[in-house]
Amino acid sequence: MTKAQLIEAVLNSKNMPRITKKATGEIVDAVFNNLAKAIRKDRRFVVPGFGTFSIRKRKARTGRNPRTMSEIKIPASKTVHFKPAPDFKQSL
């Protein structure tokens, strides 16, 4: 699903007040911006019934360049991990 499709789905949701597409886009942007801020600040963000977003550290490791097959060093990094809530996971 693309961002435009998400905005369209939110606009067409039942029991939603009728607002403009632009306003809906701004709301979607605000939600994701605040979600990112919360993950950076608290290192996790929980949505009950949906799941938990958290920061995970990845160790440095050796990889391989698929074009030349030469080994390369991949530095340590941080990434966002998502763990679905049990109810959500079961519904998949």
Listed by start position, the domains of the chain span 1-42, 43-92
Task: Report H helices in 1-92.
Answer: 3-11, 21-42, 86-91
Query: Which top CATH class is 43-92?
Result: few secondary structures
Q: How many C-beta atoms surround the C-beta of residue 11 within 10 A?
A: 15
pLDDT in tens, the chain (92 residues): 999 999 999 988 888 888 899 999 999 999 999 999 999 999 999 999 999 999 999 999 999 999 999 999 999 999 999 999 999 999 98
Cα 59 to Cα 10, 24, 53, 80: the distances in Å are 38, 39, 19, 14
Q: What is the value of pTM for the model shown?
A: 0.74
Q: With contact defined as beta carbons under 8 Å apart, do 60 and 76 qualify?
A: yes
Cα 37 to Cα 54: distance, rounded to the nearest angstrom? 12
